[in-house]
Amino acid sequence: MKILLVDDSRTIRNIQKSTLATMGHTDILEAADGVEALAVLADVRPDLVLVDWNMPNMDGITLIRKVRETDQKLPMIMVTTEAEKTRVMEALRAGVNNYVVKPFTAETLAEKINATMSKLGVPA
């Protein structure tokens, strides 16, 4: 499974990569903001995208809305410090399939990924 990680923090991307590696996923693409992510998505369609909310140049919610204009089915999980109910609702309305609040444990991230892929009928 090919997974795109979108987060301006390389530390967070590395932590996510470690968790994904323990789940057997090593085919990872990375982007540091929404603009970079769109450039990646223009060439490759991954099986899953993990996306942060607060990033420079283009934030995660804008990225999700742009992706959903042309791709309704790409599995996307928001991974962010934004934890208010209003923010979660906004992200769900924009089209995310699941939501992980930072700080997160490796177990929580793995559970959310598995649950998302299972719900969408995609083998994780």
Partner 1 sequence: MDVRYINPFIASIKNVFSTMVQTEVTVGKPVLKPTNDRAVDVSSVIGLSGDIVGAVVLGFSCDVACKLASTFAGIEMTLDHADFSDAIGELANMVAGNAKKDFTGHDVSISLPSVIVGKGHHVSQLKTSPRLVIPCSSAAGSFDVEIAMVVKKAPVTETEVAVAGV
Q: Which is nearer to partner 1, 14 or 26 (CB)?
A: 14
Q: Is the peptide bond before 123 cis (omega within 30 degrees of 0)?
A: no
Q: Does 57 bind partner 1 (CB under 8 A)?
A: no
Q: Are 60 and 52 in contact (CB under 8 A)?
A: yes
Q: What is the DSSP letter of 20?
A: H
Smallest distance from partner 1 to CB 24, Å:
19
Residue among 15, 38, 40, 58 that touches partner 1 (CB under 8 A): 15
Q: Does 83 bind partner 1 (CB under 8 A)?
A: yes
What the block records as the tokens of 28 is: 């990872």
Which among 109, 87, 107, 119 has a CA at the least distance from the CA of 5?
109
List of residues contacting partner 1 (CB under 8 A)? 8-12, 14-15, 18, 54-56, 80-84, 86, 101-105
